[in-house]
Amino acid sequence: MLLNSAEQNTESSVQETHSANVRRSRRTGKELINQFEILRELGEGSFGKVVLCRDVNQQYSRLAMKIIRKFSSKKSSSENKAYLDDIRREVAIMKRLDHPNIVHLYEVIDDPNSDKMYLVMEYLPGGPVLNKDSSSLSEHRCRIYMRDIVMGLEYCHDNGIIHHDLKPENILIGQDGHLRICDFGVSIICRNDDKETVLRGTPPFLAPEVIIRSQTKQPFAGKPVDIWALGITLYMMVFNRAPFKGHQIQETFKLIVHQKLSFPFRLSNELTDFLNKILDKNPDTRINMDEIKVHPWLTNFGQEPFPAKLKGIEITQKELDDAFTSILPLRMVIDVKRRLHKHLLDARDKISRNENRSEQSVTNDTTDNSELNDDQIMDEIISDRSQRDPNLDDQIENNENDWKGGRQNINSSFIRDDKQDPLSSAHNKEINNMQSEIQQANLFNVPQSNLQQQRPDFPNVF
């Protein structure tokens, strides 16, 4: 499936490595993953964590590595499959994106015998464009930063990618001082109609039409939603706070839908006009990307036009399928192994005897299989497949074939269409909560006088 219209790159420049040698450095004692030495943790999320690392083959190289769990023992089988959809889509997108204002992915380390995968990316030492200790930025600095974000976002939109979580936290400052858009975890690859019905993103950055139409599953366009979030991000850079904020999420939703945009202090006429147009609550009259790129505030009255667009990209269904080596067959092995209790104990006893374990060890190892965790079971499966009962292999193979038979349906969910629009697993609970908050907000019966009052900052917004 082709996702752009103009010129296209035909190959990804991202290196793909299918083995992960995880060990400790004898010299420094730090963890090594292939040639990458882990230096310190940069952040952590539901997917795993991001660490700073260095390539030991290049003395001064500093890189960021995103360590992703391929499944979680805390999730159900269906949740893990949906979670893999999210990962697969993010990896496929990042493999193909090649733009100076989007974080660059260098290498994907994906060992089929590992429950983790590793994304090696450029390290952006400047951190987020805003954080809790930031102060307001000057109009001049905001214009420079906005031009970077606009060019990166336009590149995404031109290639059928809706980011869906654009916010200061996901916009990082590179060593060259320019901004990079990152975190495509809830992004979607859309068709030409650009219509969707799923609630995605962070509450204070959601567009009014998303809040209103998601209640009745009415479709809305994706690009204007990103442009609204771009406007919220600019407002926060200028005023160091969000424009619509309440004590609770449902109150924030009411303000987004009903409250009139206001400015804490006077701005230039051009910036005031730009903010009013980009934060227009009506998506049909909201400024679009072509209009943004010729607005007097961003172009300094035409003296600083935007450069020509870069080449388009191509993301095929095969690239989505091959984004990484799925560990689901191994997960299915775990499920089979738990059901076939007797065969498991026999297989583990054979392994234990071959490794000359003590009698006490064997006794401890033959406790109820439900007490074993996934890592222990998986280690045994991978360590010596040759010593398992042949009947067990047959049952495992049948189970894996059953899973593969349904894989087409799973893969089809990576590309959104009108009939199928699955929720992002990583945000499933959060989305359900937001849907509930929207219902409780009773958006269509709100006294306007109550919405004009000043509110304290939203808890997670600067």
Active site residues: 165
Q: How many CB atoms lie within 10 A of CB 319?
A: 19
Task: Please give the C-alpha separations between residue 121 and each of 36, 78, 102, 239, in angstroms, as whole numbers.
Answer: 12, 29, 11, 31
156 burial class (0-12, 13-18, 19+ CB within 10 angstroms)? buried
**309 marked as part of a ligand binding site:** no
Q: Considering only CA atoms, which of 325, 334, 331, 318 is closest in space to residue 372?
A: 334
Secondary structure class of 156 (helix, strand, coil): helix
**356 marked as part of a ligand binding site:** no
**169 marked as part of a ligand binding site:** yes
Element (H, E) at 95: helix 77-96
336 burial class (0-12, 13-18, 19+ CB within 10 angstroms)? buried
Which residue type does 237 have?
A: M
**373 marked as part of a ligand binding site:** no
**270 marked as part of a ligand binding site:** no
Secondary structure class of 180 (helix, strand, coil): strand
- Alpha-carbon distance of 254 to 356, in angstroms, equals 67
Please measure the distance between the N-terminal and C-terminal CA atoms of the chain and give it in whole angstroms: 41
Residue stretches of the annotated binding site: 66, 70, 169-170, 183
Residue stretches of the annotated binding site for ATP: 66, 70, 169-170, 183
